[in-house]
Amino acid sequence: METEYREGLETLAEHYRDILALLGEDPNREGLVKTPLRVAKAMQTLTRGYSEDPHKVLTDALFEEPYDQMVIVKDIDFFSMCEHHMLPFYGKAHVAYIPKGYITGLSKIARVVDIFSHRLQVQERMTQQIKDCIEQTLHPMGVMVVVEARHMCMQMRGVEKQNSITTTSAFSGAFKQAKTREEFMNLIKG
């Protein structure tokens, strides 16, 4: 698959070359000569969500449908980059909404998760952004998002806790009722 890189790729690569030198490495060493460009390309790929519109993704597959029960897309794998240390965090997102006249293609929910996760992030904001996007675009009776993730900034540095998992949630509308939230949580556990 051919990747289209954004403007500034060469400048980004020059900065990574400088970083290698500042770390005490020789950027001209055989194994590092192409590293600055590879890292610049990787960073543009990991942050491609800045150039994508999650609302458009949802409206491109919007269908009128009288269905008014919970729709859940669970176990959506994602990875993101922590904005505090620029280290990865990764895990699963679980998304539910209760339609009010309109549904969207199921894959579009996963695409919304991808778009927000492919930005420099904190898990709390990403969870809220996914919920807000679905809410503002589909105008459902309610939305709930639960994100479970492992953070390399906690595993590789600082407290170095290898098995910790962070869980965040955001909900609105019908999910403000404990019974509805409980139904969602039971369904994603099974």
Active site residues: 82-85, 123, 151, 153
Q: How far apart are CA 105 and CA 8, in angstroms?
A: 34
Q: What is the CA radius of gyration of the chain?
A: 20
145 by DSSP, 3-state: which? Answer: strand
Q: CA-CA distances (angstroms) from residue 141 to 3, 101, 172, 184?
A: 38, 10, 8, 14
Cα pseudo-dihedral 176, 182, 184, 188, rounded to 10: 140
Q: Measure CA of the first residue to CA of the last residue in the chain; give whole Å.
A: 35
Asked if 90 and 80 touch (Cβ cutoff 8 Å), the reply is yes
Asked if 170 and 128 touch (Cβ cutoff 8 Å), the reply is yes
